[in-house]
Structure formats: structure tokens, C-alpha cells
Amino acid sequence: MIEIKRKEGESVNAFLYRFTKKIQHSGVIKEAKKKRFHDRFQNKRARKDSALYRIDKKLETEKLKRLGKI
């Protein structure tokens, strides 16, 4: 936990600047983003099936675009 107190005579802008720098250096934001966007584990077969499905869909949309249907 990070605790920052405002210094005597310090402006709000200077305090916010110091606070954001302290947060960035501590790695709190990086950890929060890792936890927020963490993907669940998929086995190798599931990843392969998913990739093949995406490739097929991409090819299908490109084909429809060429035909003028999209």
C-alpha cells in the first residue's frame, strides 16, 4: 500500500504529479491491468481450433467482400 501525504505549501498539481509518479514506479497499475485482462488457460488443442476458426471466418468475410455481398 502506498501512502503519500501532501507537503506543507505544496500545490494540488504538484501533489498529483508526485502521486502519479509514485504509483507508476510501484507497479500497482501494471498489476491491476494484468489481473483485469488475464485470459483463462487454454490447452494447445483449444488454441489451435480457435485460430483455425478465426482464419476461416476471415477468409469467408474477404470472399463475401470480393463478391460485393458485404
Cβ density class 34-51: b for 16+ within 10 Å, e for less: eeeeeeeeeeeeeeeeee
Tell me the pLDDT tens digit for each residue of 1-40.
788 899 999 999 999 999 999 999 999 888 888 888 877 8
> Would you list the domain boundaries of the chain?
10-39, 41-70
pTM of the shown model: 0.47
Tell me the pLDDT tens digit for each residue of 43-67.
999 999 999 999 999 999 999 999 9
Q: Which residues contact 64 (CB under 8 A, 6 or more apart)?
A: 70
Q: How many residues does the chain have?
A: 70
Q: How many CB atoms lie within 10 A of CB 12?
A: 8
